[in-house]
Amino acid sequence: MRAVAAGLQAALLLARGRTDALDALGPATDAIASAKRSFWAMAFCLPAFVCLHLVAALGTTAGAPATSPTLSAHSFAVDLLGFVIGWMVFALASYRITAMLGRAAMWPRFITLWNWCNLIQYVMLVVATLPDLLGLPEIVGQTAWLVAFGWAMWLEWFMTRLALVIPAPLAAALVLLDVAVGLIVAGFTG
């Protein structure tokens, strides 16, 4: 539970733009163990994933990508498989890329922060669906979705830059890689 609390605290600090988030993870000597435990973030993201899946299936989110309204167990299972595959593909790709950048020693702390920041990102996206679910004007829902998505991208960029100590454009390239992985997986599962 300490690893979960430390990961969540670090992610919340990052979401507020705090550079001391790495300190919340504890000593770097435990980085590999923390990285392994941080994959529990997937389980914590699952309720938000289910919520977003249901909202998308119902077609109620104005800012979300359009999907066919279906609540079948098959479509959910395929989406869930895509969720897991997308998560793991980026984790593996980032491991290889950080090694190519000479930052392999920083990858465990990076992936720990990335995993926990995913939880913050999922929560932001769920909150962004509330205006549509509450029947507010479409422009409110679209604005909420845009702000949540922008904040999620900024959070990942900020975390990447901080954790890997790399220039801003390189951090942006890693964020774009994450987005591309998500889009490719969604293309196969959608």
For 64, left (φ over 0), alpha (ψ -120 to 50), or beta? beta
Provide the residue range defining the domain that includes 11.
Answer: 2-189
Helix segments in 26-164, DSSP class H:
31-38, 41-58, 73-100, 107-133, 138-164
Distance CA 152, CA 66 (A): 20
Q: Which pLDDT score is estimated for 70?
A: 54
pLDDT band at 153 (very low <50, low <70, confident <90, very high): very high
Q: Which pLDDT score is estimated for 84?
A: 95
Q: For residue range 26-85, what is the model confidence (pLDDT) as tens digits?
A: 776 678 888 999 999 999 999 999 999 888 877 754 444 444 445 678 888 999 999 999
In the Cβ-directed half-sphere of 133, how many Cα atoms lie within 13 Å?
Answer: 15
Distance CA 133, CA 82 (A): 25
- Residue 118 is classified by DSSP as H
Distance CA 152, CA 150 (A): 5
Q: Which pLDDT score is estimated for 5?
A: 87
The answer on pLDDT for 87 being more than 60 is yes
Tell me the chain's radius of gyration from C-alpha atoms.
17
Average pLDDT for the chain: 89
Q: For residue range 94-122, what is the model confidence (pLDDT) as tens digits?
A: 999 999 999 999 999 999 999 999 999 99
Q: Which pLDDT score is estimated for 71?
A: 67
The answer on pLDDT for 186 being more than 50 is yes
Q: Which pLDDT score is estimated for 66?
A: 47
Look at the chain and report how many structural domains it folds into: 1
Give the chain's end-to-end CA distance (angstroms, integer): 35
User: Is 165 strand, coil or helix?
Assistant: coil
Distance CA 69, CA 71 (A): 7
Pick from 145, 144, 156, 147: nearest CA to 180: 156
131 and 148 Cβ atoms separated by less than 8 Å: no
- Residue 44 is classified by DSSP as H
